[in-house]
Amino acid sequence: MRQYILRRLLIAVPSLLGISVVLYTVLALAPGDPFAELATNPNVPPEVALALRAKFGLDDPVYLRYFRWLAAMVQGDWGFSFVSRMNVDTLILQRLPTTLYVIGSAQLLALAIAIPVGVYAATRPYSIFDQIANTLAFIGFSLPTFFTGLLFILIFSVTLDWLPFVYSTDVKGTGIRWLFEQIRQAIMPVMVLGLFQAASMTRFVRSAMLDVIRLDYVTTARAKGIGQARVIVKHAMRNAMIPVVTLIALQMPAVFGGAIVTEQIFRIPGIGSLLISSILSNDTPVVMAVTFVFACLVVLFNLIADVLYGWLDPRISFR
């Protein structure tokens, strides 16, 4: 197994290099200029913008810029933001806790809804419960998050005035009150994201479970006189969870990557809003770092998913 992991990690190196080349080229070809705002400001002489471009090496050929970036990245230097004039890693680390908290809670909420609802719906296919769960799931993943987000704001903030819709990084108060405020302001974004995720995941869990529940070994387990609950949880679910684990593992990078739309709507200072504002201001080093780290996480979690398969189903071997 150790050999397997090592081999997979080695294979990851060329693919990550390939990803970085593609990302860098696309960003270099994309139109725009980090110092665009200066161009319309009559107070700033054009030479200043040119000097800044030279200072940040923007006038060098693309391949030179790429190799410079790669060399720095290998040494753990993520680059220097044009816009904030600070190191990219500090910028990202500052945003990470908020993203982990909000998106992570949303994922947990999605799992907490999807697994029991999906499993229960699968044990009673086409029952009233299943029908309702299905309908809600369809509604859930047909509504985009920007729509549900605005709807929630209108209902809970504007009309009812229960929840704040501007996420604040430094919540006033200490102890219980701090915790309460943190939870209160996260309710809406977590619900919006969590329900959206839960909807598609419920469908997934249900179909995975349906595939397994009809197999002979489940009938055998029932025939042995084991209770319904034990059969479902111990025998059926463990096997049904294999595809679900893949899905969850692939969604884990998103927990770090943030949710661009939702973060923008609720002004959550997470990675997603950092990415979008950096794209808008053409802050290439930040965009590059966020997307590349995201790519690394995707590769890493794929590996983790593969390793988990072996644990869930010992018949799957590592070759």
Partner 1 sequence: MLDTELKTMIDGVKDGRMDRRAFVQRMIALGLTAPMATQLLAVGGVAMAQSPAPYKPTKRGGGGPLKLLWWQGPTLLNPHFATGTKDQDGSRPFYEPLASWDADGNLNPILAAEIPSIQNGGLAADGKSVTWKLKPGVKWHDGKPFTADDVVFNWEYARDPATAALTIGVYQDISVEKVNDLTVRILFKNPTPFWADAFVAVVGCILPKHLFADYKGDKSRDAPNNLKPVGTGPYKFVEFKPGDLVRGEINPDYHMPNRPHFDTIEIKGGGDAVSAARAVIQTGEYDYAWNMQVEDEVLLRLEKGGKGKTVYSTGGDIEFIALNFTDPNTEIDGERSSMKTKHPLFSDPAVRKALALLVDRDAIQKHIYGRAGRTSANYLNGPAQFVSKNTKWEFSIEKAAKLLEEAGWKAGADGIREKDGKRLKIVYQTSINGPRQKTQAIIKQACQKAGIDIELKSVVASVFFSSDVANPDTYSKFYADIEMFQTPMTQPDPAQHMRRFHSRFVATKENKWQGRNFPRWVNKDFDAAIDAAEAEIDPVKRAAFYIKANDIMWQDTVVIAVMHRLKVGAAANSLRPALSGWTNDTDNLQDWYREA
Q: Which residues bind partner 1 (CB under 8 A)?
A: 31-33, 35-52, 55, 80-81, 83-86, 91, 94-95, 153, 157-158, 161, 164-166, 168-170, 264-265, 267, 269, 273-274, 277, 280-282
Q: Is 164 helix (H, G, I), strand (E, B) or coil?
A: coil
Q: CB 149 → partner 1: shortest distance, Å?
A: 10
- Alpha-carbon span 90 to 51, nearest angstrom: 26
Are 78 and 285 within 8 A, CB to CB? Answer: yes
Closer residue to partner 1 (CB): 18 or 144: 144
- Alpha-carbon span 287 to 27, nearest angstrom: 8
Closer residue to partner 1 (CB): 54 or 112: 54
Closer residue to partner 1 (CB): 48 or 250: 48
Q: CB 72 → partner 1: shortest distance, Å?
A: 15
Strands (E), 6-100: none
Closer residue to partner 1 (CB): 14 or 61: 61
Block residue for tokens 């915790």 = 179
Q: CB 41 → partner 1: shortest distance, Å?
A: 7
Q: CB 25 → partner 1: shortest distance, Å?
A: 14
Going from the C-alpha of 52 to that of each of 35, 56, 240, the distances in angstroms are 8, 6, 57
Q: CB 26 → partner 1: shortest distance, Å?
A: 15
Closer residue to partner 1 (CB): 80 or 141: 80
How are the residues of the chain apportioned to helix, strand and coil, as percentages rounded to the nearest 5?
75, 0, 25
Q: CB 196 → partner 1: shortest distance, Å?
A: 20
Closer residue to partner 1 (CB): 39 or 250: 39
Block residue for tokens 């044990």 = 123
Q: CB 238 → partner 1: shortest distance, Å?
A: 43
Q: Is 303 helix (H, G, I), strand (E, B) or coil?
A: helix
Long-range contacts of 23-31 (CB under 8 A, 24+ apart): 23/288, 23/291, 23/292, 23/295, 24/62, 24/65, 24/66, 24/69, 24/288, 25/62, 25/66, 27/284, 27/287, 27/288, 28/62, 28/65, 28/66, 28/284, 30/282
Closer residue to partner 1 (CB): 40 or 174: 40
- Alpha-carbon span 125 to 135, nearest angstrom: 13
Are 201 and 121 within 8 A, CB to CB? Answer: no
Q: CB 258 → partner 1: shortest distance, Å?
A: 12
Closer residue to partner 1 (CB): 98 or 202: 98
Q: CB 21 → partner 1: shortest distance, Å?
A: 20
Closer residue to partner 1 (CB): 9 or 39: 39
Other C-beta atoms lying within 10 Å of the C-beta of residue 2: 7
